[in-house]
Amino acid sequence: MPANVKVSDNQEKHRTRAEIQARQAAEAAVMPDRSAALKVPRSLNKDPVAQRYWKSILERMEGLAILDDLDSEMLAIYCSALSRREALNALCRELMPAMEKTSDAGNRLAMIEKLDGLMAKLQSHEKTLLSYADKLGMTPEARARLARKRAAQEAEKDPDADLFGD
């Protein structure tokens, strides 16, 4: 398995000034503009619940500088998945009282099997949601990883900062 690619600021190899400048120029060419406002993709036009999630997430992430325009499709998929999870939860809430009211053992068993299958789908769906949330920087672990990365970059700016203590 190949090693992860490091940003030029995090590399520790001895490079010439020309090599460093070439690498930084190449990185700048592929880094997206994080200041651009994300636009709602057309894929969410017919899903008002997903649009509501989109708006809510962007409001809560305002000022974090984590997402950019390249992340809009991934965020749209995440919002659509949240919308589907909400629909699955609503279906589960409808089936539970109906199952409890059923007195026929055969019907009750069939409803339990439906509910069990639905719960399995919901659980699988929630695992997918967690993986998207992690990739988008919306989990505590992802934010901690980002904070460590930013702290390491700040420490590299002044390598002598720790010589004299606080």
Out of 13-17, 25-29, 48-52, 146-150, pick the least confident. 25-29
Given pLDDT bands bounded at 50, 70 and 90, which one contains residue 130? very high
Residue 130 lies in a domain: yes
Residue 141 lies in a domain: yes
pLDDT of residue 6: 52
Domain that holds residue 48: 39-156
Kindly tell me if the per-residue pLDDT of 32 is higher than 60: no
Please report the DSSP string for 128-155 in residue order: HHHHHHHHTT-SHHHHHHHHHHHHHHHH
Domain count, the chain: 1
User: What integer is the mean pLDDT of 127-150?
Assistant: 84
pLDDT of residue 1: 43
Identify the burial level of 75 via C-beta atoms within 10 angstroms of its C-beta, where 0-12 means exposed, 13-18 middle and 19 or more buried: buried
Phi and psi at 27, nearest 5°, equal -65, -40
**Is 138 in contact with 57 (CB distance < 8 Å)?**
yes
Q: Which residue reads 């672990």 in tokens?
A: 141
pLDDT of residue 158: 60
Condensed to tens digits (0 to 9), the pLDDT of residues 48-65 reads: 999 999 999 888 888 777
Residue 124 lies in a domain: yes
Kindly tell me if the per-residue pLDDT of 14 is higher than 90: no
pLDDT of residue 126: 92
Residue 4 lies in a domain: no
CA dihedral 142→148→150→153, nearest 10 degrees, is -140
- Look over the chain and give the mean of its residue pLDDT values, rounded to a whole number: 78
| CA atoms of 77 and 118, how far apart (whole Å) | 21
Given pLDDT bands bounded at 50, 70 and 90, which one contains residue 109? confident
Residue 138 lies in a domain: yes
Q: Which long-range contacts (CB under 8 A, 24 or more apart) does 59-68 make?
A: 61/138, 64/137, 65/34, 65/35, 66/34, 66/136, 66/137, 66/146, 67/34, 67/38, 67/136, 67/137, 68/32, 68/33, 68/34, 68/36, 68/38
Residue 12 lies in a domain: no
Condensed to tens digits (0 to 9), the pLDDT of residues 63-100 reads: 777 777 778 889 999 999 999 999 999 988 888 888 88
